[in-house]
């Protein structure tokens, strides 16, 4: 039987009361067929005996007989339907664990293809067919198969949850909308679904964007790790080179020291050997003279004794050994060797500092002075690069950012990550403060600069006294007066370093700092003291090729 004839036959054998294939079909006098139980129950529940299809009224209850022809046709139809269902079931897959199974299958539970929200039943391909072909069932709401369809029924009214209460943000049935949610904003479930779906699409796009950003951040971090690894390899190579050179220098100095000491020892031994040989020769001559004197003392020959006595009495030709001594001179040998080694180390250190300075200069930033933070006595250049202290206090707004008691000013630029570097000319000044400060410093009180109070600075006092304002302050011994000071900050590393740019020397480093807020460049040219300290602090462009 073809699919078309099969579907047509199915429509012919449906009871219009139960909408299922006839069971014990009977015919009324008007020619319509029904299930025997369906028509009897219909007449039992009504006061009149009428046909459910044509509405013909019977005066008396008709006597019903089984329609043998229809019954045979229904039996044949059922056999063909079972054969088709059996064939279709063999082609369909049994539901696997975690998959929704058909609620109608009696044997092997096949995988459900759809769930009906009206019937609250899930169907496989075979049992779903009536919902796709019967005009009445086609109006049912089908969806992708889901479990626990009873959860889609109102527990209070046992009706499908077809509406959504926007007021309470919950799904409700039709009866709920006319009772508990009567005055609420209630819309069809589909309408709210469409809105939420659009919102979900927007959320999904936002999440996708967040995922992309995080993927990019992962790439950025991986790239940073690669760069860090390259930098680490360079540092290790440079460290190995420097320390190998230092090790060789130390070994060479040690060998030279040992050779010098041994050479001096050999010279001392040779000198001692020569002295001993000379002394032994004099002893030999003296022994000979002593022997002759003893022999002469026993002589009875008066003439012979008197003639030889002057010769023996004469002083022997010997050296005066009183001041002669062996004094090995090793004093200063080690000190001299260590001094030479120190000079070598200083040269190596200078090379390292020069290389380090060039590296930090790569993080140079353009810093300008912020006039809104400047003390009223300070005079700033138009380009915001120079500042010195004047004698006249200007009438300026006392805004919260402005320093009120100390002649200080901050840079406009703030930094809360990464690294930054800037240079300041301090030439011809006898007093200044320089460094960085955190955003929350109190600018209306007398400044006591220290890391605890939010300042990381070095200062000059009395023209030649340099200090790092750590806790406690550290006096700095510098070989020369800096003319230009470089300030470098590594925010994540917690490092603030100061450099003598011209001498390529490290002045001081604050290490292990914990930065939790924005940092600003900090400048204090101090009072001018009648012109003795009138030179300005000048923010200089960084010469990275030097």
Between CA 149 and CA 158 the distance in angstroms is 12
Q: Calculate mean pLDDT across residues 133-141.
A: 81
Looking at residue 56, the DSSP 8-state letter turns out to be P
More confident residue, 134 or 376: 376
Maximum average pLDDT range among 38-42, 203-207, 366-370: 366-370
Between CA 29 and CA 44 the distance in angstroms is 18
Give the whole-number percent of the chain exceeding pLDDT 70.
93
Segment 42-85, tens digit of pLDDT: 888 888 888 888 888 888 888 888 888 888 888 887 777 666 65
Segment 467-491, tens digit of pLDDT: 999 999 999 999 899 999 999 999 9
Looking at residue 519, the DSSP 8-state letter turns out to be E
pLDDT for residue 286 is more than 80: yes
pLDDT of residue 422: 97
**Nearest alpha-carbon partner for 521 in 456, 473, 471:** 456
Q: Is the dihedral of CA 142, 146, 149, 152 positive or negative?
A: negative
Residue 133: partners with Cβ closer than 8 Å, 6 or more residues away = 7, 10, 11
pLDDT of residue 5: 42
CA-to-CA separations, 195 to 166, 185, 187, 201, 295, in angstroms, rounded: 12, 15, 11, 10, 145
Between CA 458 and CA 408 the distance in angstroms is 14
Of 114-118, 145-149, 331-335, the poorest mean pLDDT is in 331-335
More confident residue, 149 or 460: 460
pLDDT of residue 156: 86
pLDDT for residue 190 is more than 90: no
Segment 315-345, tens digit of pLDDT: 677 788 888 887 777 667 788 888 888 887 7
Between CA 490 and CA 421 the distance in angstroms is 9
pLDDT for residue 15 is more than 60: yes
Of 7-21, 353-367, 416-430, the poorest mean pLDDT is in 7-21
Residue 293: partners with Cβ closer than 8 Å, 6 or more residues away = 312
pLDDT for residue 7 is more than 50: no
Query: How long a stretch of residues is the chain?
Result: 546
The CA-to-CA distance between both ends of the chain, in Å, stands at: 96
Segment 390-407, tens digit of pLDDT: 988 899 999 999 999 999
Q: Determine how β-strand 519-524 pairs with β-strand 163-165.
A: unpaired
pLDDT for residue 364 is more than 90: yes
Which pLDDT band, with edges at 50, 70 and 90, does 384 fall under?
very high
Of 279-293, 406-420, 490-504, 508-522, the poorest mean pLDDT is in 279-293
pLDDT of residue 239: 81
Of 177-191, 205-219, 286-300, the poorest mean pLDDT is in 286-300
pLDDT for residue 357 is more than 70: yes
Q: Calculate mean pLDDT across residues 79-99.
A: 65
Q: Calculate mean pLDDT across residues 191-209.
A: 89
Which pLDDT band, with edges at 50, 70 and 90, does 445 fall under?
very high
pLDDT of residue 4: 40
More confident residue, 123 or 119: 123
**Nearest alpha-carbon partner for 500 in 450, 460, 448:** 460
Between CA 155 and CA 173 the distance in angstroms is 10
Give the whole-number percent of the chain exceeding pLDDT 90.
38
More confident residue, 296 or 26: 26
């Amino acid at each position: 039987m073809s699919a078309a004839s099969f579907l047509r036959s199915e429509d012919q054998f449906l009871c219009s009361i139960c909408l299922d294939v006839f069971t014990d079909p009977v015919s009324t006098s008007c020619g319509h067929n029904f299930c025997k139980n369906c028509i009897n129950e219909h007449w039992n529940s009504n006061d009149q005996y009428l046909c459910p299809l044509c509405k013909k009224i019977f005066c008396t209850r008709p006597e019903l007989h089984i329609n043998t022809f229809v019954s045979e046709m229904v039996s044949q139809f059922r056999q063909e339907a079972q054969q088709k269902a059996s064939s279709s079931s063999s082609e369909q897959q049994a539901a696997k664990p975690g998959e929704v199974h058909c609620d109608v299958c009696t044997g092997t539970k096949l995988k459900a293809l759809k769930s009906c929200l009206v019937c609250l039943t899930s169907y496989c391909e075979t049992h779903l067919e009536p919902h796709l072909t019967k005009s009445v069932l086609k109006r049912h709401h089908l969806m992708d198969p889901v479990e626990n369809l009873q959860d889609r029924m109102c527990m209070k009214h046992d009706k499908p949850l077809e509406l959504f209460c926007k007021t309470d943000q919950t799904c409700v049935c039709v009866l709920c909308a006319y009772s508990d949610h009567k005055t609420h904003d209630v819309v069809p479930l589909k309408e709210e679904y469409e809105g939420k779906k659009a919102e979900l699409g927007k959320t999904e796009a936002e999440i996708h964007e967040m995922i992309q950003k995080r993927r990019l951040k992962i790439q950025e971090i991986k790239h940073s790790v690669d760069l860090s690894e390259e930098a680490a390899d360079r540092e290790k190579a440079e460290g190995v080179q420097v320390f190998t050179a230092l090790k060789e220098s130390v070994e060479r100095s040690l060998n030279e020291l040992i050779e010098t000491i041994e050479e001096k020892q050999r010279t001392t031994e040779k000198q001692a050997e020569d002295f001993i040989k000379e002394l032994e020769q004099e002893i030999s001559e003296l022994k000979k003279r002593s022997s002759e004197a003893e022999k002469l003392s026993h002589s009875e020959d008066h003439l012979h004794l008197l003639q030889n006595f002057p010769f023996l009495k004469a002083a022997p030709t010997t050296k005066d050994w009183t001041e002669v001594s062996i004094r090995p001179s090793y004093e200063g040998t080690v000190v001299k060797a260590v001094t030479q080694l120190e000079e070598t180390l200083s040269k190596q250190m200078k090379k390292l500092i020069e290389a380090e300075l060039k590296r930090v200069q790569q993080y140079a930033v353009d810093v300008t002075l912020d006039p809104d933070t400047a003390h009223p006595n300070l005079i700033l250049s138009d380009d915001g690069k120079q500042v010195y202290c004047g004698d006249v206090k200007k009438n300026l707004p006392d805004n919260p950012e402005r320093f009120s008691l100390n002649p200080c000013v901050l840079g406009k630029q703030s930094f809360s990550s990464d690294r930054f570097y800037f240079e300041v000319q301090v030439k011809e000044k006898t007093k200044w403060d320089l460094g960085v400060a955190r955003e929350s410093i109190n600018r209306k009180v007398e400044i006591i600069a220290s890391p605890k109070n939010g300042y990381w600075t070095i200062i000059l006092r009395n023209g030649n006294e340099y200090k790092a304002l750590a806790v406690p302050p550290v006096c700095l011994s510098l070989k020369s007066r800096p003319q230009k000071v470089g300030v470098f900050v590594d925010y994540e590393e917690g490092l603030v370093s100061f450099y003598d740019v011209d001498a390529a020397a490290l002045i001081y480093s604050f290490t292990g700092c914990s930065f939790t807020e924005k940092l600003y460049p900090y400048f204090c040219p101090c009072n001018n003291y009648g012109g003795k300290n009138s030179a300005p602090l000048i923010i200089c462009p960084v010469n990275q090729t030097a």
